[in-house]
Amino acid sequence: MLQQQTISIELGQGLQIPALGLGTWPLLGEEAADSVARGIGHGYRHLDTTEKYGNEQAVGEGIRRSGVERSELWVTSKLSLAGHSRQGAETSYVEALERMGLEYLDLFLIHWPNPSVGRYVETCEGLEELVASGRLRSWGVSNFKPEQLHEVLDAGLVPAVNQIQVDPLHLQPLVIAANEAAGVHTAAYSPLGRAGDFLLDPALTTPAHKYAKTPAQIVLRWHLDSGRIAVPKSASDVRQRENLDIFDFALEPAERAAIDALDSGAGPRLDSNTYGH
């Protein structure tokens, strides 16, 4: 049965982003196109890709195969290092549209700040200009630390989103707090983590039993109930449907707090001060 999403987040200026998206890394070629088409058929209306994944063309093909009108979908992509300049932002955007076969994107992010290059503020200026021109609906950043975000804010620019690694073991509370203070929405990539041992913790198994859900579904609902966007990846029909089947319950504050308490205090898998592309 088609599971329609029932939670969206207001980004401002009338834009509503579906809180649950379909991630596409590391899918390529036919597998990526097929996964996207099936995901849209199951009810996903938010798709997340990037130049670095090498699958933008396949994601665009999956959109076309789905038969769903482009206006009903939210499509996010991201620019890489070559786009780190004011003009580079525009060039990267045009190239992304050409690869995907689309006329516009709903959200375009700087994938990594690449602080050693030192051009992410002017890149944000370029993205802001694209929005002002009506060619792009919204822009944001990814993997930005609070100090990097503050540099952007000090330039009078406010990203709609900062997409970062968040899961129960890697909560990144300081980054989330900085986002919230700035009015920037947090989007979680790898929202279910990569090592699933924490899924056996009573903080997840207890509400899973209570709500007749899987621990992974509890984690996704935790993200949404915490006000975050989440973009889990799955190419499996069963998992795609399960990930969407989280809109008929909500966690209690104490249940969310118990999951928050699983945070290990560890930083993200990759340090954006030293890693980038």
Active site residues: 53
Q: Give the Cα separation of 223 and 191 in Å (integer).
A: 8
The Cβ-side half-sphere exposure at 158, using a 13 Å CA radius, reads: 11
Tokens read off for 165:
């690694």
Q: Which residues contact 98 (CB under 8 A, 6 or more apart)?
A: none
Residues 269, 237, 38, 42, CA torsion sign? negative
- Reduce the DSSP state of residue 178 to 3 states and report it: helix
Burial grade of 43 (CB within 10 A; 0-12, 13-18, 19 or more): buried
Pairing of β 107-110 and β 74-79: parallel
Q: Where are the alpha helices (DSSP H) in the chain?
A: 29-42, 56-66, 86-100, 120-132, 146-154, 173-182, 202-211, 215-225, 237-244, 253-260
Structure letter (DSSP) for residue 184? P
Can you say whether the dihedral through the CA atoms of 40, 30, 141, 101 is positive or negative? negative
Q: How far is CA 230 from CA 152, 221, 227, in A?
A: 23, 9, 10
